[in-house]
Amino acid sequence: MSYPIAMVLLAILASIVGGHVTGASVFWGALCGVSQAFGVWWFYAALGSGPISVVSPRTVWIASPSAETFPSAARTTRKPWRLPSV
C-alpha cells in the first residue's frame, strides 16, 4: 500500500514544484523502475531458494563494484535540498 501512497504524494509534489517532462526522462525513469523491480524479484527469489548465508555474500559481491567503479560519486558531498524561491 505504500507504493500507491508514495506515487500520489510524488505527483502532488511534482505539480507544485513544476518543471519540464521530456519523453526521454519518462523512458529512462520507466526503464529504471522495471530494472529495479526485476532486481528485487530476483533477490527475493534467491532468498527463497537458498540460505541467507549464500545469498547475502553474493549480493555484496555484485553491489560492491558500484562504489569502486564510480569513486567520485561516493565521495561527493551533497548540498542540502531546499525549495526554490518564489
Alpha carbon separation from 27 to 19, 21, 24 (Å, rounded): 17, 11, 5
**pLDDT of the residue at 75:** 55
**pLDDT of the residue at 9:** 93
**pLDDT of the residue at 39:** 85
Report pTM.
0.46
How confident is the chain (86 residues) per 10-residue block, as mean pLDDT? 86 86 89 90 79 68 62 56 59
**pLDDT of the residue at 47:** 76
**pLDDT of the residue at 55:** 64
Length of the chain: 86
**Upper half-sphere CA count for residue 54 (Cβ side, 13 Å):** 8
46 within 8 A of 38, measured Cβ to Cβ: no
